[in-house]
Amino acid sequence: MHYSIAEICKIVDGKLINISNRQANETFVDSLDFDSRKIKQGALFLPISDHDNASVHKLFSDYTIAEKDGHKFINSALKNGAVASFADHIVQTSLPLILVSDTQLALWALAKNYLNKINPKRIAVTGSNGKTTTKDLIASVLSRKYKVHRTVASNNNEIGVPTTILNMPADTEIAVIEMGMDHLGQLTALSKMLEPNISLITMIGEAHIEFFKTRDKIADAKMEIIKGLKKDGTFIYDGDEILLKERADLFSGEKVTFGEKESNNFWVSQIEDKKRLSFKVNQETYSVNLLGKFNADNCAAAVAVAKEFNLSSKTIQEGFDNLQITKNRLQLLTGSKGETIISDVYNSNPTAAIKAIEILKDFPTRGKKILVLGDMLELGDQEVSLHLALKAPIERAAFDEVYLVGPIMKSLAVKMQARWYDKAFLTDLSRDLQSSLSKNDVVLLKASHGIHLEKVERALI
């Protein structure tokens, strides 16, 4: 983005503090960030102070509760190069302030203004699993022909989506925006802000079942992504999922399905998952450097989007060949002893955990197969039973070694008589793994981010 401080103040209906009108018209902002540690020279700082917003809390997981008011970091932002900051109250600082009633609403107003100014084609992606990978696939394919901007990492909530929009280059032709949710109404608001040309749902799983209680209610929440869909827009979804099909039947707009049933518009078949995933979509053969047969469906979703933009199968394959996936999502890494590490340490839920177990089971190796599985969070009062349900797929896979991590996994460890570690003792887990691993082994790390298995990943590397 490129706005003067004065322009921003007018857009958000704010009041200028610590700066004259002339200086405000002559000082420009080129980026925005909510993290004072990462602020760039010439940036606008966004102090977040909504203590009741669970999604905002996740952005600040490294801070203590007392530090979650971003206004405490305005002077840090000044020191690191910010030229101005939003604020909902006057702070002792020399940094120019744009005083507003609500910093988050100001962020949304600015993002909406910039989105309409650049006016790219807009693709919204959500789903219980696979949304980040699918977003990366779509962006990689479309970037073969268009200038594409996509969500970085998983900045997919009320702060991440508008921040992603504001950091969009001025020459962007297509914006691929990931959207997450953990409560009703969240996707409605995000979708109405973005007004997508394409809304896409990858699948319905058990993620956030703590809040929604049933998969039916999760499906209702995911369907909110079409609330802001343009009248001539297209809804793309997993046609194998009955919960989506039932709800899509009530939608009168353009619909496109993908999946492994022949009735889908984009039919996936002949899936082979070796060290490179290969498959057919409508009899066209594709391959991609991803793990897991389920990723063939995510690729089919990307193909469906690409065909909306009239891309050839050759161009789509070029996009798959140049795929750069988001860190910590089923990455293949090499450990210090030459072992293969399959790292998926950002998020976990029962569906994703079972798929990861299947990946390790089928992974070709001459050495041991070692499973490291951590707690799956946000499962509510079903958490113990959903963790215990992993016993059968783990035992069927007959792994050489199984390590379970976290307080909820303790119940499964007792049932399986498996090794268990409290999440406070990841150093012990890393040491025990290193003493067991050798060159030809493969180890899978899978857990919700709150268990912090990325520390084990780093130790092994």
Is 128 marked as a binding-site residue? yes
Q: Report the DSSP pairing between strands 15-17 and 97-99.
A: antiparallel
Contacts of 6 (CB under 8 A, 6+ apart): 16, 21, 24, 25
- Tell me the C-alpha distance between 28 and 12, whole Å: 16
Per-residue model confidence (pLDDT) at position 48: 86
Q: What is the pLDDT of residues 20-62, one digit of tens each?
A: 999 999 999 999 999 999 999 999 999 987 544 544 444 444 3
Q: Please count the CA atoms within 13 angstroms of the CA of 270 that sit on its side-chain side.
A: 10
Q: How far apart are CA 25 and CA 306, in angstroms?
A: 42
Which residues neighbour 120 within 8 Å (Cβ) at sequence distance 6 or greater? 149, 168, 172, 173, 174, 175
**Distance of alpha carbon 411 from alpha carbon 418, whole angstroms:** 10
Helix, strand, coil percentages for the chain (3-state, nearest 5) = 40, 20, 40
295 is in an annotated binding site: no
Report the pLDDT value the prediction gives residue 216, as an integer from 0 to 100.
Answer: 87
- On whether the CB atoms of residues 263 and 239 are closer than 8 A, the answer is yes
Spatial contact of 67 and 198, defined as CB atoms under 8 Å apart: no
Query: How far is residue 141's CA from residue 306's CA, in Å, rounded to a whole number?
Result: 7
- pLDDT for residue 210: 52
Identify the H or E element spanning 412: helix 409-416
Summarize pLDDT for 52-107 with one digit per residue, the tens: 454 444 444 433 333 478 999 999 999 999 999 999 999 999 999 999 999 999 99
Q: Which domains does the chain carry?
A: 3-102 (3.40.1390.10), 120-321 (3.40.1190.10), 331-460 (3.90.190.20)
Residue 411 annotated as part of some ligand binding site: no
Q: Is 326 annotated as a binding residue?
A: no
- Paired with 248 in beta bridges are none
Q: Give pLDDT, residue 30.
A: 94
pLDDT at 65: 36
| 3-class secondary-structure state, position 372 | strand
The rounded distance, in Å, linking the Cα atoms of 208 and 90 is 37
Phi-psi region of 460 (alpha: psi -120 to 50; beta: other; left: phi over 0): alpha
In terms of C-beta distances under 8 Å and separation of at least 24 residues, what long-range contacts does 355-359 make, across chains too?
A: 355/129, 355/292, 355/294, 356/292, 356/330, 356/444, 356/446, 357/390, 357/393, 357/394, 357/397, 357/444, 358/292, 358/293, 358/393, 358/397, 359/273, 359/291, 359/292, 359/330, 359/444
Looking at residue 411, its pLDDT comes to 94
> Is 367 marked within a binding site?
no
Is residue 448 a known part of a binding site? no
The answer to whether 127 is annotated as binding is yes
User: Tokens for 435?
Assistant: 């003493």
Rg of the chain's alpha carbons, rounded to an integer?
23
DSSP category for residue 225: G
Which of 131, 121, 129, 115 has the alpha carbon at shortest distance from 200?
Answer: 131
435's CB contacts (< 8 A; 6+ apart) are none
Category of 439 on φ-ψ map: left (φ > 0), alpha (ψ -120 to 50) or beta: alpha
Return averaged pLDDT per consecutive 10 residues of the chain, 461 residues in all: 97 97 96 92 88 43 51 95 95 96 94 97 92 95 98 87 94 96 87 97 70 78 95 97 94 96 97 89 95 92 98 98 82 91 88 89 91 91 91 94 96 94 94 94 94 94 93
